[in-house]
Structure formats: structure tokens, C-alpha cells
Amino acid sequence: MDYQLLSEETRRVCVEVGQYIRSERHQVAPEQVETKSRHSLVTRVDKHAEKMLVERLGQLLPEAGFIAEEGTSDRRGERFDWIVDPLDGTTNFIHGLYPHAVSVALREGDEIVVGVIYEVGADECFHTWKGGPALLNGKPIRVSATASIDDALIGTGFPYYDYSLLPNFIRSLEHFMVHSRGLRRPGSAATDLAYVACGRFDAFYEYSLNPWDVAAGILLVRQAGGTVHDFRGGTDYLFGKEIVACNAAMSEQMLATVRSFMYPAP
């Protein structure tokens, strides 16, 4: 399997879909917005973008199945599955804000082998493949070298429907507000992970996530020299709904801090 070629072709597909999303900015009327939950919205643009992705990715790798946010296709492949978020940051998109992004990953068995994130507002395409470099618009990127949380800029996101860990999460926010250079919540987990990969964020953590939010970013961070864990330090971050992505230099400190707040010892 030529992962590099697949990554390049996937990148072209994501940019095409992103250009469609950009063309629809400010064209969505309030009555066209559907509410999945109070904080989880979907538009005709999300749905059409996903149909475009499913059609074009299906042509690239016909034997692959899909794990897609809007359910355009739920067919699973025997070996390969595309993990697709057609518009990560829909609430931003509806309100005319950036970032919002197209995020696509290819999973082979239990391993992510291609990852592409196209952030529409800045026209930035992050992509990588198994064994390859992490790239931003064709140029290599690396995670930051920041060695301490005290000197770090940290990205995060807020839960949309699962508030079971919210008190712990709020305490973690308070800690990082005091003990880091700052927190940012752009509103697109895929973009947050891409920003870790290119060193804009030193770390990112969030819970109540779905696989399409994080799949492409997981591979990008790793191929850029970073680390990815769940809050307990394990590997259940794709379907486990929680993630800590970090540069290598402060990975242990970041993970220990997040774990101490999110799952404190009794």
C-alpha cells in the first residue's frame, strides 16, 4: 500500500471539500441549522461536504468502509476504514468564525495510516502518512520544544453533552490558567491537534470527543514528534473520548497534571 500517494490524494480531496465549505460561508440561514443537542449543530453544508468526501474517498479506496460523523455511510471495511469529519467546528462556521476544518484519517486494522486536516480559514492543509513526515502546505513541521507547563500555551475544548467530569475539568482549567502561559479554546479539536503538531500549541487536552474529531490529528502529532495518550496514560484515545496530545519534552508533566485533576487518586 502506497500510503504517501493515498495521503496526497486525500489532501486534494480535503482541499476541494474545504473550498466548497468556504464558498458557503454566510450562506446558511438559521432555519437550515439542525440541533443534535444544545451545543451540537449540523447544517446542509456538513451533510453535503460529507457526501462529497464519501464519494471521492470511495473512489480512492473502494474496499474501505467509513466511520463518518453525519452517517452518510456506515459501511465498514474488512481492512480499511475512512474516519471522516466533514466540518469540525460547525458552531464556528455558523457564526462566521474560524477555525473550522475538514478532517480525514484512514485506519488500517487498529492503526491510523493517513491523516489530513484542512483548516478552511487560513487555507492550511496538514497531512501525513505512516512512515512519513508531518507537513503543512507541503513543508515539514515539528512539535515545540517547550519543556515546562509554566512556559506552555495549552489548547483545550469544552464538552458538548457529557458533563460528568465537568467539576474536575474546571479545576484543571483553573490550574493551567495560573501555571501556564495561557489556555486557548478555538472550537475545533482537529485544528487544535494540528496546532500541536506544528508547535503553535505545546499541548492539547479534552474529553467527550469522537473518533472523527481526533483520528487525523493523532497521526499528525505522532509523526511530528509528539505523544498522544488518554487521561490515564493509556492508548484508549481514538474511541475512549479523551485525549492528551503534547510535545515530547513536557509529555510526562502534562499527562501527570491532567490525570491528577481528571482522575484524582482516592
Domains along the chain? Answer: 3-140 (3.30.540.10), 149-262 (3.40.190.80)
Amino acid at position 191, single letter: T
d(CA 203, CA 199): 9
**For position 266, what pLDDT does the model report?**
82
Q: Assign 76 a pLDDT band (cuts: 50, 70, 90).
A: confident
Q: At a CB cut-off of 8 Å and minimum separation 6, what does 138 contact?
A: none
Q: At a CB cut-off of 8 Å and minimum separation 6, what does 73 contact?
A: 54, 58, 65, 66
Q: What percent of the chain has pLDDT over 70?
A: 94
pLDDT tens, residue by residue, 144-179: 999 999 999 999 999 988 899 999 999 999 999 999
Q: Assign 73 a pLDDT band (cuts: 50, 70, 90).
A: confident
Q: Assign 39 a pLDDT band (cuts: 50, 70, 90).
A: very low
**For position 37, what pLDDT does the model report?**
47
**For position 72, what pLDDT does the model report?**
74
Amino acid at position 13, single letter: V
Question: Angle formed by the axes of helices 166-179 and 251-262, to 10°?
Answer: 140
Is the confidence at residue 27, as pLDDT, over 80? Answer: no
**For position 32, what pLDDT does the model report?**
61
Average pLDDT over residues 63-70: 91
Answer positive or negative: Cα dihedral of 208, 82, 93, 229: positive
Residue position matching grid coordinates 504517501: 4
**For position 17, what pLDDT does the model report?**
98
d(CA 253, CA 236): 19
pLDDT tens, residue by residue, 196-228: 999 999 999 999 999 999 999 999 999 999 999
pLDDT tens, residue by residue, 82-106: 999 999 999 999 899 999 999 999 9
**For position 34, what pLDDT does the model report?**
64
C-alpha cell at 92: 464556528
CA dihedral 108, 254, 117, 223 (to 10 degrees): -60
pTM of the model: 0.94
- Residue 95's CB is within 10 A of a number of other CB atoms, namely 9
Average pLDDT of every residue of the chain? 93
d(CA 158, CA 205): 10
